Amino acid sequence: MKGFAWGGLMSRYPALFALVLLVIALSINLILQPNMFASDTLNSNMRVFLPIILLTVGQAIVMLGGGIDISVGGIVSIVNTILATRVGLEGSAEAMWQYVAISLLVGALAGAINGFFISYLRLQPIITTYATSFLYAGFALFILPNPGGGIPAAIAQFYRTTIPIGIPLAFYVIAVVVMLWVYLRSTRYGGFLYAVGGNAEAAYKTAVPVSRVIFSTYVISGLMAAFSGIAITMLSGSGNADIGSAMTLNSITGVVIGGTAFSGGVGGVVGPIMGAITLGIIQNIISFAGITTWWETLAKASIIVVALAIPGIVNLFRRRE
Amino acid sequence: MKRFAISPPVAALVLSVVLFLLSGLLPNGYGSDVNVAISQATNILRLSVFLGVIAAGQTLVIISGFEGIDLSAGSIVTMTAILTYVYVSGENDKVLVALLISLVVGAVIGFFNGVGITFLKISPFVMTLGMSGVVTGAIIVINHGNVSGKVAPIMTRLIARPVAPHIPIPSALVIWLIFGLLMWLLLERTTFGKNLFAIGTNRVTAKLSGVNVIGMNLATYSLAGALAGFGGFLLVGNTGVVLISLGQPYLFPSIAAVAVGGTLLSGGKGSYWGTMAGAILLTLITSLLTTMQMPDSVRRMVLGATLLVLISIYGRQKTLRQ
């Protein structure tokens, strides 16, 4: 059913639609906030977007493999509470790096638990990661029952204000992630990932290690969630066991706006990165447009639904012609 | 490839009974007092009604397959609960109209879901997720922070109280049994039901054998919306108050209840009896954890682990080798 021109264009360049959306959103934002490309303003936006971008990248890889990960927000919360309670406001930089490493291990482990149940026990991804999201969010709350704790101010400051040669830190991180993705895609593993997401059964018959590939996507997602948790902890500088709960759905929306198919096998990581940025900019636009608080949620949700509906509407008209 | 002889609905029910009996051994359980035990059991059954009704629409869309799911159910519940609360404002003769409003509003929202999924080819998860946001936004606009209203006495009488003063059976339970019977008739004895399982198993073969797949899809999502709307109407009758997050806590449990009840999340196979059993089991586990006075963190972890164990037992998909 993808034979139409727009459909063909979309499947060949899944990120195209995301790029169009991003440009539209950027233009509107630029009108409302003329100084948005000044490096300070850009940095203050990008440092807020980065945690959700990292989370979206992990989600995109899981969804490329045909799954979904609802537990990512819980993993972000665990990492945040670990850093905030173990490092502390008075902690040393060494302690911070030590617990950053531990956080990454914890994230990978949480992802491995998801992956084990989904790929080896063959459970449904949506309900499995829903169950583990309780497990992880509960664990975060167990570590830090009340908001508090924190990381050394110097480290938070480093994250917030580093702008090497006028370009915000977040762009360097994104560049590294994109380069890693481009490399990954060129390897045999990259091919396997698309094969599994496209048609797991056919992939299995052509000797693709389906279970191992699916398992790996959740480990990657857990790792990215840990990176996201580290970033958001450095952004907020404090601990809150509920910090990740609202991020899960944003990461899924980001992936879908980014043109990566929900059913797997189509898309990439660049589109979802643009999707996540677009989501952040929509939030920006709404706060700058002077919409009263009561209408904010409705406005944001409607914009997202319309954005999701546009490709379908275009397709509908193409078919009529 | 049936590894377990007992079906998931029966397993969920047996597990509920066993868990309930074991809960008597807890320090603050009912102990050896039969009366307390019975009243606790009826109360848990009464609370299951609301999850059970909200999960009914979820059962339908999940059976309809094609990654069917309704993430807008929670916000529809809140929406119709608030509408009922505001419209009825304590008057008995407005209740029937309020019920109608709830069903229609739910159906309209569900219909929009159906349109997005069927014609715009948006995946159900994303479409209903987006719709959930829109409905929540609309609730905030309508609500404007506070609502004035009141539940009618007859709703409290019919939903929150026992059938009669001397018969300790909750009326809500009776409503649920009738509702369950209607759901069974719908799924097993009507063309709609037959077609629903057909499109859930395989859309292409269903279409080739003359099923109107587009119409079925629209009807299923509209009906699911209407049922969630009914859930909101019932829920406000029980709580007597509304809040902006009234329905959302029922959303994922409604999906879990369907899964625990043995309905395949990939569609084409399932029953409402299973969902009812799932709703009872989930409500029982949640209230046991509350009775045991565990901190919120431990409660969430136990709930997550229990769910994981339950679906590991009978939620497994077929292996690739088959």
pLDDT digits (tens, 9 = 90+) for B171-180: 899 999 999 9
Nearest to A284 by CA among A299, A273, A305, A306: A299
Identity of the residue in A134, A304, A311 whose CB atom sits nearest the CB atom of B301:
A134
Residues 6+ apart with CB under 8 A from A197: A63, A64, A65, A66, A263, A264, A265, A266
Give CA–CA dist A145/B295, Å, rounded: 9
SS (H, E, C) B66-107: CCCCCCCHHHHHHHHHHHHHHHHCCCHHHHHHHHHHHHHHHH
List the 299-318 stretch of A: residues with Cβ below 8 A of B.
Answer: 299-302, 304-305, 308-309, 311-313, 315-316
CA atoms of A127 and A124, how far apart (whole Å): 6
What is the sign, positive or negative, of the torsion defined by CA atoms of A74, A77, A82, A83? positive
Tell me which of A262 and B157 has the higher pLDDT: B157
End-to-end Cα distance, chain A? 16
Helices (H) and strands (E) in chain A, counts: 14, 0
Q: Does A262 touch chain B (CB under 8 A)?
A: yes
The CATH number given to A39-314 is: 1.10.3470
**CA-based nearest residue to A63, from A254, A207, A246, A280:** A254
How far apart are the C-alpha atoms of B304 and B33, rounded to whole Å? 31
Of A120, A130, A123, A113, which Cα lies nearest the Cα of A69? Answer: A130
Residues 52-81 of chain A whose Cβ lies under 8 A from any Cβ of chain B:
68
What residues does B164 pair with on adjacent strands? B167
Cβ atoms within 10 Å, residue A23: 12
**Mutation for testing the B interface, residue in A130, A253, A291 having most B CBs under 10 Å:** A130
Cα nearest neighbour of B132 on chain A: A301
Range of lowest pLDDT (A152-166, A175-189, B77-91, B210-224): A152-166
Q: Hey, what are A112's tokens? A: 């491995």
A72: three-class secondary structure by DSSP: helix
**Tens of each residue's pLDDT in chain A, 321 residues:** 444 555 566 656 767 888 988 999 999 999 888 888 888 888 888 999 999 999 999 999 999 998 999 999 999 999 999 999 998 888 888 889 999 999 999 999 999 999 999 999 888 898 899 899 999 999 999 999 999 888 988 888 888 888 888 888 899 999 999 999 999 999 999 999 998 888 888 888 887 888 999 999 999 999 999 999 999 999 998 999 999 988 998 899 899 888 877 767 778 899 999 999 999 999 888 888 888 888 888 888 898 888 888 877 877 777 665
* Chain A environment of B318 (Cβ under 8 Å): 122
What does the block give as tokens for A135? 């497990």
A103 CA to centre of own chain: 17
For B167, the 3-state DSSP assignment is strand
> Per the CB < 8 Å rule, is A200 touching B131?
no
Whether A260 contacts chain B with CB within 8 A:
no
What confidence score (pLDDT) does residue B322 get?
A: 47
Tokens at residue B160, please? Answer: 């929150």
pLDDT of res. A203: 84
**Mean pLDDT in residue range B109-116:** 96
Report chain B's mean pLDDT, rounded to a whole number: 89
pTM above 0.90, yes or no: no
pLDDT of residue A18: 86
Between chains, do A126 and B131 touch, taking CB under 8 Å as contact? no
Candidates B58, B79, B121, B275: best to mutate against A (most CBs of A within 10 A) is: B121
Other Cβ atoms less than 10 A from the Cβ of A186: the count is 10
| ipTM exceeding 0.95, yes/no | no
The residue of chain A nearest to residue B113, with distances taken between CA atoms, is A305
Q: Where are the domains of chain A?
A: 39-314
Q: Which long-range contacts (CB under 8 A, 24 or more apart) does A142-145 make?
A: A142/B295, A142/B297, A142/B298, A142/B301, A143/A78, A143/A81, A143/A82, A143/A85, A143/A241, A144/A81, A144/A84, A144/A85, A144/A239, A144/A240, A144/A241, A145/A241, A145/B295, A145/B296, A145/B297
Cβ atoms of B301 and A135 within 8 Å: the answer is: yes
Query: Greatest CA separation found in chain A?
Result: 67
| Residue B116 contacts residue A309 (beta carbons within 8 Å) | yes
Domain locations in chain B as residue ranges: 8-20+33-159+193-314
Handedness of CA B173, B174, B179, B180 (dihedral sign): positive
B312 touches chain A (CB under 8 A): yes
User: Considering CB atoms only, which of B126, B266, B301 is closest to A135?
Assistant: B301
pLDDT at B299 over 90: no
For residue A161, count other CB atoms closer than 10 A to its CB: 13
Would you say residue B206 has pLDDT above 70?
yes
Chain A residues with CB under 8 Å of B311 CB are 123-124, 127-128, 131
| A207: contact with B, CB 8 A cutoff | no
Q: Is the pLDDT score of B123 beyond 60? A: yes
Place of tokens 């490096």: A39
Q: Which residue of A has its CA nearest to B316?
A: A123
Instruction: Sort out which chain B residues have CB atoms less than 8 A from A301's CB and list them.
Output: 130, 133-134, 136-137
CATH number of B8-20+33-159+193-314: 1.10.3470
Judged by a CB distance cut-off of 8 A, whether residue A121 touches chain B is yes
Q: What's the pLDDT at A2?
A: 43
120-139 of B, contacting A, C-beta below 8 A = 120-123, 125-127, 129-131, 133-134, 136-138
DSSP strands (E only) in chain B: 162-164, 167-170
Q: How far is A303 from chain B (nearest CA, A)?
A: 9
